[in-house]
Structure 1
């Protein structure tokens, strides 16, 4: 296919939908993505397959390849559908409020679609809704005190994205572990508490002892917000009054 990129195929975002067919079940990329998201929500990315999607939609598997040529394109459509939800909140008048809103909506979307966190940072997200979220975030950070020029903006975005990916993957990993093992915090403490107590009583780990004995079990949402605001304070050089 001759394209503006030479002989390379057009990205899925720029290819027109296949012409409607006289078939019992109408299809679209949005419909395929929605079905794929439901399956991934239930079974994870490892449980996602073209055959499962086709079965849920009531069509033959080969028909889906009229709309997506491979698994990577399918994942791109799924990811951008999640970004569409993140983009729904719009922007705020103040830069910091915009960044906080985008980050919190991203966390909420990842908790609803845990597979989304697996793909954060793993590949470029270049769909129209992902680009809209990226533009909103970058434009807001560009207005922040302490961000002077493109180099500062690149560093700020890099630090913010690194925090987001790490925080969400850790939170979701803990949720998955609790589900798969049936071990919550009290159960873990009951199992390993005696060993940990013996180790801390040696006196070799005084700071860890303070964290274990005096530290509270922090709320995940509150911790995310606190660490996010601390990150914004640091990368922008802005300390709120």
Structure 2
């Protein structure tokens, strides 16, 4: 394609910036942050970098490897655990840090769910969380079940049970608003208890990870603290799955 090089974009003085795997991944993350993960392709990323698509394949074998690398780059942003923190505070801090990272990259939950297996960065994150439990004296047995209980909160988001309210939408057109109002009326008539819960409080759309309507910071922390308090109680009681 005319106007594109195979090695990297020019800085304006005729000298090209070398293309590297790190630069490809950083550009892909920035593109997804701006335009969404569905808009990302090898061709669109090549255009972003000012290179021909084939130049990317020297650094990532295919789209799946690109997505794996993007995910690991994002997970690497999770902050270090505060030194000397007790295990519960350390785990809480790390998961809240993961949540802040995913708020910056709201496409990441979709990519996490699409992977056929854990990436190196995902394994490193899980290993660190497990290590915090074990360092706090929890048994491997209890830690195993705690990780299952935490579920997607380990990554900093939740897969919500309840349907999103109209407040999760971003400035719908009038016809969309009318349709939402009709759906809300049908919901309230058929499922009054669900409707009452959904309407019970406004949600902060700015704190929603991945566009999931009810997953605001308060609700995330509320459930996280319930889980950690329960895990702490079981640890204090010397709980074992063999004694159930």
Same fold (TM over 0.5): yes
Tell me what 1:12 maps to: none
Deviation at 1:101, TM superposition (A): 1.4
Q: For 2:147, which of 151, 157, 176 is the aligned residue? A: 157
Aligned alpha-carbon RMSD (Å): 3.7
Q: 1:189 to 1:66 in 2, by over 3 A?
A: closer
Tell me what 1:231 maps to: 227
Q: 1:136 to 1:33 in 2, by over 3 A?
A: same
Q: 1:81 to 1:209 in 2, by over 3 A?
A: closer
Deviation at 1:35, TM superposition (A): 0.8
Tell me what 1:111 maps to: 103
Q: For 1:56, which of 48, 59, 67 is the aligned residue? A: 48
Structure with higher helix content: 1
SS in 1 for 2:59: coil
Q: 1:210 to 1:73 in 2, by over 3 A?
A: closer
Deviation at 1:231, TM superposition (A): 1.4
Tell me what 1:41 maps to: 33
Tell me what 1:221 maps to: 217
Q: 1:194 to 1:153 in 2, by over 3 A?
A: closer
Q: 1:107 to 1:47 in 2, by over 3 A?
A: same
Deviation at 1:30, TM superposition (A): 0.9
Note the residue ranges of structure 1 that are not aligned, 5 or more in a row.
1-22
2-structure distance, mates of 1:208, 1:115: 28
Return the TM-score normalized by structure 1: 0.69
Tell me what 1:17 maps to: none
Write the deviation string for residues 64-85 of structure 1: whole angstroms up to 9, x where unpaired.
Answer: 1111111111111101111111
Deviation at 1:182, TM superposition (A): 5.7
Q: 1:195 to 1:132 in 2, by over 3 A?
A: closer
Write the deviation string for residues 114-146 of structure 1: whole angstroms up to 9, x where unpaired.
Answer: 11011224433332x43432222111122456x
Count of aligned positions? 205
Return the TM-score normalized by structure 2: 0.68
Note the residue ranges of structure 2 that are not aligned, 5 or more in a row.
1-14, 205-215, 237-244
Q: For 2:119, which of 119, 126, 130 is the aligned residue? A: 126
Q: 1:227 to 1:194 in 2, by over 3 A?
A: same
